[in-house]
């Protein structure tokens, strides 16, 4: 991993000495991406800034890389995994002067022109200056794993690996793209299939598309776009043999893991407890020594991720470091500002926080590790979202949900069409009629194609930044074009067989993992059984210090034009009473937009400098025997309940317990006059508790009156208090009857 920055004149003139200060500022801003070396170059119309993280050829692989005749200058961020194979295809007499995996790109360009990336396997963002043609090339890998952004006006172009570095140029706009952001499904989480180009969240800033070369003529700025690879269509494939597909998937994945695990530095792995990272761990441990790292939080304790990660590592005979996030942890305002500026994305949330903290632990305690393997991106192409999206309906339910999402995407692009769905269950228009506004005839193909956008907009973006903040390179074996091309050939008739709940992955690595791991259902990172622990952590972050983060956000120059400050404050106050009411996920992206708006007005210090003010790293908890230590681990990380047996509770003011007028055994909880919860035959003990709740007796006394035990009601009491359905009555404990 490295940091790329620079600028170029687009009017045939040369850069003057003022560019040196901009290049120096860019290198300083990108120092976290490349802590091992820094190089600046200004020559004619082009200036380049390069900061290096040395994973391959630490001694001789510095950049810029320049051709023997001086006509081609290259800076590149990333890895070319098949560089040795590519070197074998070069013309006789070609001499590679370094062991850098990227040097082969210089010679490939000289011999193949714009076709030079077609056979490359790897992840990269690159800037290539062709002095003879007076052209500048900006390019990214097949999936956009490595970032590259630019901004341009009539006179010049500025480019960098991270948006914040573009702001080193005073001519680059510094403004959040509010209109685009507020309407983006990436921010609203609208259940639609979206094929729009990824947004950068900032006005006047563009990202180089994945699998694309921008060829820019420096004489006049004329730009040509060359796409060197396209995502397969994922339409009906030819007949195929299941076992052959599974075998080929295993072979390609093993090759990709081997590629990603190859470096002249140590490699680690984030082990989540799911089959994806377990598969990478099993394959990588056959060729390299691995240290693995796992989030140990209330959420991962409750949903089983932490336990499964420990057991996987134990089975494979590799070290596993459980990194503790204790139950009372609250990210500080300074921490959040640092992370948000590092990621540059309003979708920054709990996932980014946890991963950033893991990387910090690795940097501090395992400084020899410079690359981190991930199990990310398997879900997007291998059916990882099928069970969740199907909502209990099996593969047919999955396809039906995708069809609705595809129609939603079409009506989002042409909002007036939504009128034809009003008052009907499934609309009055045919899918063929909607096709002109978006692909709906093959919703699965449309869904997977949309995931290409998601990978660029979210997955690769945050994985890159959270790792880069600690000078570590994230490596993603599942994002290998050979794997995606293979999966795209699965015939329609075999989709359910191989892509329901990632069956193709489970079968491909089934012999390497215990059955309980290979067949373990997908568990969201912090959603599901353990959601409340993470939600409470971030609720506490928003309400700490009298809502300091909110007030800082509301100072945004443009935020006040878009957001109702009084309602935002009221929402935060409601969170204090009902932390699980769902408002955290609605509030946080809006607060992030505001904070980014503030940051562009007065640029924060570079991440490499603000990192020095972060709290101490999270402790690692040694685990020898999970079964005997589980209770102690739970005490460390599970969030304490907001009630006790001696708490006096009552229904919140807006909550009413109602009995059905037609069925004496069915009751409802109404919230603000709306029937939200049904209490039927399966809820009789909970109903008995609620009917005896009087705001006077303590929890244990209410249970005694109703003939109940407190223990079985614990989870429901947790949830009801967190949702604000029940609230604590402030009372002198001496008034409680004993």
State whether 567 and 658 are in the same domain.
no
Which strands make up the sheet holding 72-80, listed edge to edge?
A: 65-66, 72-80, 122-130, 135-140, 212-217, 223-227
State whether 191 and 86 are in the same domain.
yes
Examine the pLDDT at 633 and tell me if it is beyond 90.
yes
Examine the pLDDT at 736 and tell me if it is beyond 60.
no
Phi, psi of 345 (to 5 degrees): -130, 130
Q: Across residues 366-377, what is the average pLDDT?
A: 95
Q: What is the pLDDT of residue 583?
A: 75
CATH, residue 10: 3.60.20.10
Q: What is the pLDDT of residue 61?
A: 63
Residue of 528, 42, 473 lying closest to 268 (CA atoms): 473
Q: What is the pLDDT of residue 74?
A: 97
Confidence category of residue 734, pLDDT binned at 50, 70, 90: very low
State whether 83 and 177 are in the same domain.
yes
Q: What is the residue range of 122's domain? A: 2-227
Last residue of a domain, one of 192, 227, 262: 227
For residues 193 and 176, which has the higher predicted lDDT (pLDDT)? 176
State whether 81 and 156 are in the same domain.
yes
Q: Across residues 542-548, what is the average pLDDT?
A: 91
| Signed CA dihedral, 308, 310, 314, 317: sign only | positive
Q: Is residue 451 part of a domain?
A: no
Examine the pLDDT at 237 and tell me if it is beyond 70.
no
State whether 605 and 693 are in the same domain.
no
Set 2, 172, 260, 460: catalytic member:
2
Q: Across residues 126-146, what is the average pLDDT?
A: 97
Query: How many domains does the chain contain in total?
Result: 3
C-beta of residue 61 within 8 angstroms of C-beta of residue 86: no
Q: Is residue 366 part of a domain?
A: no
| The token pair that represents 199 in the structure block | 């947004």
pLDDT digits (tens, 9 = 90+) for 106-115: 999 999 999 9
Confidence category of residue 390, pLDDT binned at 50, 70, 90: very high
Confidence category of residue 416, pLDDT binned at 50, 70, 90: confident
State whether 101 and 23 are in the same domain.
yes
pLDDT digits (tens, 9 = 90+) for 546-563: 899 999 999 998 888 899
Please state, rounded to an integer, the average pLDDT across all residues of the chain: 91
pLDDT digits (tens, 9 = 90+) for 674-724: 998 999 878 899 999 999 999 999 999 999 999 999 999 998 998 899 888
State whether 87 and 204 are in the same domain.
yes
Percent of the chain at pLDDT > 90 equals 73
Residue 145 CA to its chain's centroid (Å) = 12
State whether 613 and 662 are in the same domain.
no
| Signed CA dihedral, 693, 698, 699, 701: sign only | negative
State whether 571 and 720 are in the same domain.
no
Confidence category of residue 737, pLDDT binned at 50, 70, 90: very low
Q: How far is CA 578 from CA 173, 193, 449, 590, 718, in A?
A: 40, 32, 38, 19, 11
Lowest mean per-residue pLDDT among 237-251, 365-379, 427-441, 630-644: 427-441
Instruction: Give residue 40's region: left, alpha or beta (phi > 0; psi -120 to 50).
Output: beta
pLDDT digits (tens, 9 = 90+) for 53-85: 876 666 666 789 999 999 999 999 999 999 999
Phi, psi of 24 (to 5 degrees): -65, -40
Q: CA 109, CA 91: separation in Å to the nearest integer?
A: 12
Q: Is residue 394 part of a domain?
A: no
Among 408-422, 432-446, 604-618, which range has the highest average pLDDT?
604-618
Q: CA 608, CA 353: separation in Å to the nearest integer?
A: 17
Last residue of a domain, one of 598, 617, 636: 617
* Coil, strand or helix at 578: coil
* Coil, strand or helix at 14: coil
Please say if 2 is a catalytic residue.
yes
Q: Is residue 628 part of a domain?
A: no
In a 10 Å sphere around its CB, with 0-12 CB exposed, 13-18 middle and 19+ buried, how is residue 397 labelled? middle
Confidence category of residue 140, pLDDT binned at 50, 70, 90: very high
Q: Is residue 511 part of a domain?
A: no
Q: Across residues 320-342, what is the average pLDDT?
A: 96
Q: Across residues 557-571, what is the average pLDDT?
A: 90
Q: Across residues 534-551, what is the average pLDDT?
A: 91
Examine the pLDDT at 527 and tell me if it is beyond 70.
no
Last residue of a domain, one of 208, 227, 246: 227
State whether 19 and 155 are in the same domain.
yes
pLDDT digits (tens, 9 = 90+) for 144-192: 999 999 999 999 999 999 999 999 999 999 999 999 999 888 888 888 8
Q: What is the pLDDT of residue 510?
A: 95
Q: Is residue 454 part of a domain?
A: no
State whether 555 and 701 are in the same domain.
no
Confidence category of residue 738, pLDDT binned at 50, 70, 90: very low
Lowest mean per-residue pLDDT among 145-159, 305-319, 349-363, 418-432: 418-432
C-beta of residue 269 within 8 angstroms of C-beta of residue 477: no
- Beta-carbon contacts of residue 517 (< 8 Å; ≥ 6 apart): 275, 278, 308, 311, 312, 315
Q: Is residue 353 part of a domain?
A: no
Q: Is residue 232 part of a domain?
A: no
State whether 685 and 586 are in the same domain.
no
Examine the pLDDT at 483 and tell me if it is beyond 50.
yes
């Amino acid at each position: 991993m490295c940091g790329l920055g620079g600028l170029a004149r687009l009017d045939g003139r040369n850069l003057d000495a003022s560019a040196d200060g901009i290049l120096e500022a860019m290198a300083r801003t990108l120092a976290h991406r490349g802590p091992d070396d820094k190089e600046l170059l200004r020559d004619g119309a082009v200036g380049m800034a390069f900061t290096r993280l040395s994973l391959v050829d630490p001694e001789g692989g510095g950049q810029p890389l320049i051709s023997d005749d001086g006509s081609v200058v290259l800076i590149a961020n990333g890895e070319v995994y098949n560089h040795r194979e590519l070197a074998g295809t070069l013309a006789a007499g070609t001499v590679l002067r370094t062991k850098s995996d990227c040097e082969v790109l210089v010679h490939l360009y000289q011999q193949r022109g714009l076709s030079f990336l077609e056979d490359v396997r790897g992840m990269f963002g690159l800037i290539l200056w062709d002095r003879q043609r007076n052209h500048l090339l900006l390019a990214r890998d097949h999936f956009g794993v490595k970032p590259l952004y630019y901004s341009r006006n009539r006179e010049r172009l500025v480019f960098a690996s991270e948006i914040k570095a573009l702001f080193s140029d005073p001519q680059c706009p510094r403004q959040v793209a509010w209109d685009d952001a507020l309407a983006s499904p990436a921010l609203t989480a609208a259940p639609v299939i979206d094929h729009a180009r990824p947004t950068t969240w900032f006005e006047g800033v563009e990202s180089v598309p994945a699998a694309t070369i921008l060829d820019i003529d420096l004489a006049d700025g004329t730009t040509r776009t060359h796409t060197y690879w396209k995502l397969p269509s994922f339409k009906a494939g030819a007949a195929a043999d299941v076992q052959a597909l599974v075998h080929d998937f295993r072979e390609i994945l093993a090759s990709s893991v081997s590629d990603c695990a190859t470096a002249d530095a140590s490699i680690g792995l984030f082990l989540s407890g799911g089959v994806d990272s377990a598969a990478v761990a099993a394959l990588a441990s056959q060729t390299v020594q691995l240290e693995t790292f796992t989030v140990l939080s209330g959420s991962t304790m409750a949903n089983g991720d932490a336990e499964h990660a420990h057991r996987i590592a134990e089975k494979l005979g590799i070290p596993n470091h459980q990194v503790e996030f204790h139950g009372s942890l609250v990210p500080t305002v300074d921490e959040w500002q640092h992370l948000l500026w590092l990621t540059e994305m309003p979708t920054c949330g709990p996932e980014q926080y946890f991963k950033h903290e893991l990387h910090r632990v690795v940097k501090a305690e395992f400084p020899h590790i410079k690359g981190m393997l991930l199990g990310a991106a398997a879900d997007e192409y291998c059916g990882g979202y099928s069970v969740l999206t199907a909502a209990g309906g099996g593969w047919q339910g999955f396809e039906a949900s995708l069809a609705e999402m595809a129609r939603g995407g079409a009506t989002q692009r042409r909002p007036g069409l939504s009128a034809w769905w009003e008052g009907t269950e499934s609309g009055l228009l045919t899918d063929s009629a909607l096709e002109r506004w978006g692909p709906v005839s093959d919703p699965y193909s449309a869904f997977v194609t949309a995931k290409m956008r998601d990978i660029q907009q979210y997955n690769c973006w945050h994985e890159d930044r959270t790792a880069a903040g600690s000078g570590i390179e994230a490596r993603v074996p599942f994002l290998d074009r050979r794997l995606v091309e293979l999966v795209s050939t699965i015939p329609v008739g075999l989709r359910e067989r191989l892509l329901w709940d990632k069956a193709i992955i489970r079968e491909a690595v089934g012999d390497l993992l215990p059955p309980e791991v290979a067949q373990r259902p997908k568990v969201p990172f912090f959603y599901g059984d353990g959601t409340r622990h993470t939600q409470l952590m971030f609720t506490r972050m928003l309400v700490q210090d009298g809502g300091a983060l909110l007030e800082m956000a509301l100072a945004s120059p443009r935020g006040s034009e878009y957001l109702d400050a009084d309602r935002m404050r009221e929402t935060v106050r409601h969170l204090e009473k009902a932390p699980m009411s769902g408002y955290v996920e609605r509030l946080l992206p809006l607060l992030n937009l505001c904070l980014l708006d503030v940051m562009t007005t007065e640029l924060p210090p570079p991440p490499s400098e603000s990192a020095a003010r972060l709290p101490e790293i999270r402790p690692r908890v040694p685990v020898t025997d999970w079964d005997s230590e589980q209770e102690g681990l739970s005490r460390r990380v599970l969030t304490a309940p907001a009630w006790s047996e001696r708490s006096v509770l009552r229904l919140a003011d807006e909550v009413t317990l109602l009995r059905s007028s037609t069925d004496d055994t069915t009751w409802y909880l109404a919230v603000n006059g709306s029937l939200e919860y049904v209490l039927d035959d399966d809820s009789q003990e909970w109903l008995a508790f609620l009917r005896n709740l009087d705001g006077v007796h303590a929890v244990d006394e209410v249970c005694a009156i109703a003939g109940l035990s407190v223990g079985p009601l614990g989870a429901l009491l947790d949830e009801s208090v967190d949702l604000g359905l029940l609230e604590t009555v402030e009372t002198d404990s001496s008034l409680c009857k004993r």
